[in-house]
Amino acid sequence: MSTEIVINQVNMRFGKGDKAVTALSDINLDIPSGEIVSLLGPSGCGKSTLLRLIADLLEPSAGKIEVENESPRQARLQRKFGIIFQQPTLLEWRNVVDNVSLPLEFTGHSRKERKQIAMEQLRMVGLEKFAGHYPWQLSGGMQQRVAIARALTFNPPMLLMDEPFSALDEFTKERLHLEVIRIQEQTRKTVVFVTHSIPEAVFLSNRVIVLSAHPGKVKHNLSIELPGKRDLQIREHPAFFEYTTKVRSCFGEGAYDEDLLV
C-alpha cells in the first residue's frame, strides 16, 4: 500500500510568549492511500489543526508534511484534495448545481463543461434530481451532500473531512456514513476524517489515529478490520464492540477530565 501523506516531526504552536499554545507536538504519521483514516480525539486535541496543516491552510512551526511526495502547497495548487467542514457553507443565492460548479469558474471551464462535471458529482451523492433547488430548500444532510459533491468537482485523490456530520441528527449521520463508504469504495480515494466520536471512527475507518490533548500527540495508530461489509448491521457485530472498547481504552481516564468535555 503506497503512502499518500507523510507527517514528520510536526509541531504546531499558536501565539507567542506566555500566551503560546502548543496545539501539536512531535507528530509522526503515515497515511496510506486508498483508505479511510480517522483522526480521533477529544475537543481541543489538535485534529482540525492537523487537517489544516495537511490542507495548506496552516504552516507547521516545525517539521515537514508531504502529500503525494510534494509539499501541501503544491498539492493544494494541483487540487489534490477536496475539503469538507462541519458547515456546508453553500451560497444561498445559487442553486445546487451552481454551488457545486463554483470551483470550476476559476479554472476556465466552459459553462457547459461546468454543468456536466457538477451533474456527475451530484449523481455521485445521489442528488441529481435536486440540481435546480436552492440550499434553503434542502435538509441539513442534503446540504452536506452538496458540499461533498463540491469537494469532488476536481475529482481529487483525497478528501479531507473535518467533523462533517457533527451537526446532523443520528439517522442522517448514519446514512451519510454509508454514503462516504460507498463513494470511497467506488472511487478509491484517500479519506482523512476528523471526528470526536469513537463509533463513527470505528465504523468508517480502515485506520484510527488516536490523539491526546495538551499538547496534541499521536497516542495510538490502530488498524480496524471488521469482518464483512460495512453496513448498519456490522454495528451489532461483537468485533465492532471490541474495537470501540479498545479505542476507548486508548484514552484512559484523562480523556474524561472536565475541561475536555465540551
Which positions lie near Mg ion, rule CB under 5 A? 48
Q: What are phi and psi of 209, to 5 degrees?
A: -100, 115
Nearer to ligand ADP, 43 or 249 (CB): 43
The nearest distance, CB 61 to ligand ADP, in angstroms, is: 12
CB of 48 vs ligand ADP, minimal distance in Å = 3
The interface partner of residue 99, options being Mg ion, ligand ADP, none and the CB cut-off 5 to 8 Å by kind, is none
Which of the listed partners (Mg ion, ligand ADP, none) does 21 bind, with a CB threshold of 5 to 8 Å by partner kind? Answer: ligand ADP
CB closer to ligand ADP out of 25 and 48: 48
Instruction: Give backbone dihedrals phi and psi of 211, rounded to 5 degrees, phi first.
Output: -110, 145
Cα–Cα distance between 255 and 41 in angstroms, integer?
Answer: 8
Cα-Cα-Cα-Cα torsion 221, 34, 189, 31, nearest 10 degrees, comes to 40
Decide: helix, strand or coil at residue 218.
strand
- Residue 167 CA to its chain's centroid (Å): 14
Task: Quote the least distance from Cβ 13 to ligand ADP, whole Å.
Answer: 9
CB 198 within 8 A of CB 149: no
| Residue 101: C-alpha distances to residues 117, 158, 179 (Å) | 7, 18, 21
Nearest Cα residue to 216 out of 46, 50, 12 = 46
Is 49 within 8 Å of 24 (Cβ atoms)?
yes
Q: How far is the CB of 113 from ligand ADP (least distance, A)?
A: 36
The item of ligand ADP, Mg ion, none sharing an interface with residue 195, based on CB under 5 to 8 Å by kind, is none
Site residues for ligand ADP, window 3-62 (CB under 6 A)? 14-15, 21, 23, 41, 43-49
Binds 43, which of ligand ADP, Mg ion, none (CB < 5 to 8 A, cut-off by type)? ligand ADP
- In the bound state with ligand ADP, the residue whose beta carbon lies nearer, of 16 and 112, is 16
Binding site for ligand ADP (CB under 6 A): 14-15, 21, 23, 41, 43-49
